[in-house]
Structure 1
Amino acid sequence: MLRHNLSLFSILLAFLIGAFGLAPHASAATLTLSGGSSATIGQTISVPLLVSIEGSEVLNAVSAEVRFPTSLLTLQSISKTGSVMSFWAEEPSYSNNNGTASLQGIVPNPGWKGQAGTVVTFVFKVKASGSATISFSSASVLANDGLGTNILSKTFSKTLSFGDSAPQATSPTPTSGAPLAPVLTSSTHPDPSMWYNDANPLFSWKVPADVTAVRLLYDKNPVSSPSILYSPAINRKQLSDVGDGTYYFHAQFQNANGWGAISHMRFQVDTVPPKAFTIKVVRESSGENPQPILSFETTDATSGIDYYTVTVADAVPIMVTKSHAAQYLLPIEKSGEETIVVHTYDKAGNTITESATLTIVAIESPTITTYSKQLKADEPFTVSGTTYSEADVRITIQNSSGDTETESTTADASGNFSLIWTKHLDAGTFSFIAVAKGASGAMSLPTEPSIFVVAGTPLAQWGSTALGYLLFAFAVVAAIAFVAGVGYILWYRLGHLRRRLKHMTVRSGRGVQYDFERIMDDLHSLATLLHKAKQSRQLTKEEDVILETLKHHLKKMEDDILSRLEQIDDEAGQ
């Protein structure tokens, strides 16, 4: 119950911490039990627990429960040195009676991401010979997304082989009264069975009060006697630029009674990466066998090959053992041209990388045999077809706005599949495609889009029809009102224009009448003068012609002007 409460507390704590920094989901995480693969009875062996994060994911918390065989191993300690965890919701703990160890670590915002980060290191002591597997009984890796999403995709256990004889040298029997053998430790090379790529090992020991001097030496002999004297005694020694290989560090104390027993500590150095290699295609991808077979086997001269990782495009790296490197069946998620990256690790952690570009052939697309083309309101969409035996089939529906939803089903042994859509579909026009994923992991190309229509509810249809009629009627009324309004405006404007024209005509006519009256007055005056001149004297012939012509034209003009003015008055009065 206590562990259950602690687990709930840690998950809640991880959620609260992650809530202050959200990270997008992009990939996944792996937990790996790493370290050496062999040891002997009485020897200690370190097994680091490593976490790796891929893509844009960020780690917030790690929890794990590990099992180990108590008949072969004793768990001596769990080291937090070098851990990527910042603090612990549950401190690392273990039980040698039950053969279990557990932990719950947290990294506050902004979290942690990377490859092969150390969570803890389990330090075991070998009790008996045989083969022991250290594995996970439960585990989780929570994302720093404010939701506590478990992004753990895979765990890797560790198998160890134990022999009968210890490779580490033993100390000779000390002289009576002389100091005991120094207890040697190393922060850089703590496990004698493991390989390290650090060529500058550091060793330390505690110096008793009565010790006056210490002798040191390192070589490849397990039982050498040290010869380099340090007086007064020092309590640590760092070596530099040690070559690759297996070595032993020797130390011996001296007090007033003489030189004591000698301690020997083995350490192993490998700074050179594995031998360069190429990725060979043993079998090409084809329609019948989309998964290619690759070979990328190589060697390491010093510590030996530990494992490989294979990454296809941006997917999570897959750990591959040495036994599978010569004939590796590549798992695939999609067709097309893909970049394959292989990382090779030796037992010291040195790595070499190679990549290749492969063309993955797609499997055949599913065949759609029947589907719902016309659906009533709330009637489920159904689709059936054929594909490969027991293949996964993904149906993706897209609405007229471009939004998509996907649901999946599995074909039977004969390759037949059917799917009843579970999500609600609004009224409208939709298209769908189907994609198959075979047992090998190969993906097909999508089918050609097919169209289907979902009708609205009867009430919605009636409402739509009524609304249509109302809109039509409104449009007709609006058109009539528009025509009437325009007609009224034109009638009003034309009437106004007509009145203005009449007014202008009357004014113009009266102006013309006034002008002609003045002209006629002048002409009458001229005619009157000529007539008076005729009474007092004889007019010349020309004057007499002018007088007669003026009389004639004045009469005609007067009659014509009067006629036109009467016509204008008549029109203006209408």
Structure 2
Amino acid sequence: TANDPWGTNAFSFSREGIYSIFPPEKLPPEVPTPEVPIIDTEPPHSFEITVDNEGDSTNPQPLLYFETEDELSGMSYYEVRVKEEIFRLEKGETMPYRLPKLEPGAYDISVKAFDRAGNFNESGVEVKIESISIPQITICPPVLNPLEELFYAEGIALPNSKVIVFFEKEEKLIKEWDVNSDGEGNWFLVKEVLVKSGIYKISVKTEDERGTISYPSEPCFVKVILGAIAIGPWIMSYKTLIWVFVVILILILALIFYLIWRSRRTRKLIEKETQDLKQKFYKEYNEFRAAIERELEALRKAKTKRELSEEEKEREKNLLKELSDVKEVFTRELKDIEEIK
């Protein structure tokens, strides 16, 4: 009988042949039926996007509601495009989708729904975010000399909020500061601003506790006048520049006077040494000449009394030559000493 509770005859409908009988636990495994691939060329169903700003038109992160189906291959994921950014959401992720923080303005948001076969359908919606209260600038200096005064501005904004002050020139941001308004919305800024001459635009925005940023305020324009000169990254006032030139001039004059004094001192030293050398040279020359003349005088006296011997004659001749040579050497050396001066 068959292995069932009704005692069915397992061979009543069998033909002749050889059969294999297995206990239930040793039956051969069943061959799975192969899956038939599904060909899906249809995109997911069309869908709409609902925007929920949660009752606040200034909400910087409104919610988006959207969903669709695909009967053949099934849904895979969504792509949300916000400005130039694309965010991917897998099917089943938490809905609604909260947009990233946006500043006030109108934005075209698009959502693509992809099925498992890669087909997609796209839907779009415009999201408008209104600005919170726009701040004001009530005091702004028309002219600023940054080397002699500080930059001061004040105004009103949302109470207890952050105020962002922008300092721009030719649409290029030069500086940015954050200050806080008080409980009545008053704010002020005092800063040292070292910038080059020109016309600068000052504007402010408000940011509340949610991070919502307002539209910029009406700008004010400041004319920066520099009684100064820019040297690379440094700015030097003309007054400071004059003092620098005066100091440099004094140093140059002091150096010139020092060189003149040193030159004169050196010259005096040379003159003194030259004079001492001349005196010493004169003394030695006179002593040497006197010694030769004494010896010649002795020979002349001897000549008046007798005839000089050959040796004495030779000696007289040599002494006269020595006297002439010494005089010539003295004259040449004296000329060299004079040239040293």
TM-score after normalising by structure 2:
0.45
Please identify which structure carries the higher strand content: 1
Larger radius of gyration: 2
Please identify which structure carries the higher helix content: 2
Higher relative contact order (CA 8 A, sep 6+): 2
